[in-house]
Amino acid sequence: MASGGNDRKGTSDVFERYSRQERFAPLGVQGQTKLGESHVLIVGAGALGTSIAETLVRAGVGHITLADRDYVEWSNLQRQQLFTEHDAAERLPKAIAAKRRLEQINSLVIVDTYVLDVRVEEMESLISDVDLIMDGTDNFDTRLMINDISQKYKIPWIYGGCVGSYGITYTILPGDTPCLNCLLGAVPLGGDTCDTSGIIPQAVQMVTANQTVEALKLLSGHPEALRRKLLSFDLWRNEYVTIGVDSAKKEDCLSCGSQATYPYLSASNLEKSDVLCGRDSVQIRPAQRQSLNLETIALRLSNLREGQVQSNPFLVSFTVGSFRLVIFPDGRALVHGTKDVTEARTLYHRYFG
């Protein structure tokens, strides 16, 4: 367990913070202490990630690391509970806005946040001393990469996904349960997105409630209480199903089998461009991370006099015609107004070189 930020010394108010949780007999003071010594990595600060982060911070998990590539938009406010209208108006990176709110909720918790696109290199740098990885992502490329990292370093992770009124979650224990790669094709993991089917916030809340209670069981030292089944539900149709998937574990799985090669940690299996969930947008990530001067970029774009430029210390936004391009210091860009990767790349190279 990583050292956490929950120092029980201090005022009676601080001592009482977790009192109702400690009175829950299966957890108790000992379990709460273990939570305070835990370190959790949350990948993604969207609907799932923000709800997970707030729940774990309120519960007293001692150290939270949160990484996300995106920034706050108005459409996020319907379900991404850490963000405000001010965050959307300023287009703050989600990780930055989340950190500010989480530290207001519980100043005893260490909250580290990173504005970046989490790929293999980033994951390798983020998992030091991590006890558990939480899935707050919106795409299977990233989830499969998380799955392989989990198997390689023997770190449990909790998968979660939702769209429309549907949700799904499963706790993956390396060396014990089937991994996500084992489950592909064996169980209905779903193929719709919030772009095609929309989403209601209650589906998000149900998924994260189940993800975070599993997290509390693991981190407090009660693995015997884990569900050990895949859970899926549809709130609108009043359906709630648990599926035993132990038989899906494959001895020859390339991610968790006896001869594992961790295929989703290979660059050949990771895309450099992808369409983002929920809007007409493409992310473009250069082959090599860069270190850009945002002030210089903003000035250059302003001098073009063909679009509107907005900037803050974290990004530059450039609206031209029906497109809006947002670039970050590492060279990564979001191109809004298209789902066409080729068109997005053309715009990227036209304005950012």
The secondary structure of residue 293, as a DSSP letter, is -
Instruction: Output the pLDDT for position 269.
Output: 62
Band of the pLDDT at 188, cuts 50, 70, 90?
A: low
What's residue 352's pLDDT? 83
Instruction: Provide, rounded to the nearest whole percent, the portion of the chain with pLDDT above 70.
Output: 88
Res 9 pLDDT > 50: no
Instruction: Give CATH superfamily name and number for 272-352.
Output: TATA-Binding Protein (3.30.310.10)
- Radius of gyration from C-alpha coordinates of the chain: 21
Mean pLDDT of the chain: 89
Per-domain boundaries in the chain: 12-268, 272-352
**What is the tens place of the pLDDT at every residue in 249-297?**
999 999 999 999 999 998 666 656 677 666 789 988 876 678 889 999 9
- 23-32, 109-118, 287-296: least confident range: 287-296
Res 326: pLDDT: 95
User: What is the average per-residue pLDDT within 58-82?
Assistant: 93
Helix (H, G, I), strand (E, B) or coil at 214: helix
The predicted pLDDT at position 196 comes to 47
Strands 157-163, 230-234: pairing is unpaired
272-352 has the same fold as 12-268: no
Q: Average pLDDT of 18-30?
A: 95
Q: Is 253 exposed, middle or buried (0-12, 13-18, 19+ CB in 10 A)?
A: buried
The pTM assigned to this predicted structure is 0.81
Q: What is the pLDDT of residue 303?
A: 86
What local confidence, expressed as pLDDT, does residue 293 receive?
A: 92
Strands 281-284 and 273-275: antiparallel
b or e along 232-247 (b: 16 or more beta carbons within 10 Å of the residue's beta carbon)? bbebeeeeeeeeebee
**Pick from 35-44, 155-164, 216-225, 332-341: least confident:** 332-341
Across residues 163-167, what is the average pLDDT?
93
CATH superfamily of the 12-268 domain: NAD(P)-binding Rossmann-like Domain (3.40.50.720)
pLDDT band at 77 (very low <50, low <70, confident <90, very high): very high
At residue 3, the pLDDT reads 45
Produce one character per residue of 326-347: b if its CB has 16 or more CB atoms within 10 Å, e if not.
bbbbbbbbbbbbbeebeebbeb
> pLDDT at position 191, please?
54
202-221 pLDDT, tens digit each:
999 999 999 999 999 999 99
CB 180 within 8 Å of CB 137: no
And the tokens for 153?
Answer: 């370093």
What gap in Å lies between CA 182 and CA 246, rounded to an integer? 10
DSSP state of 164: B
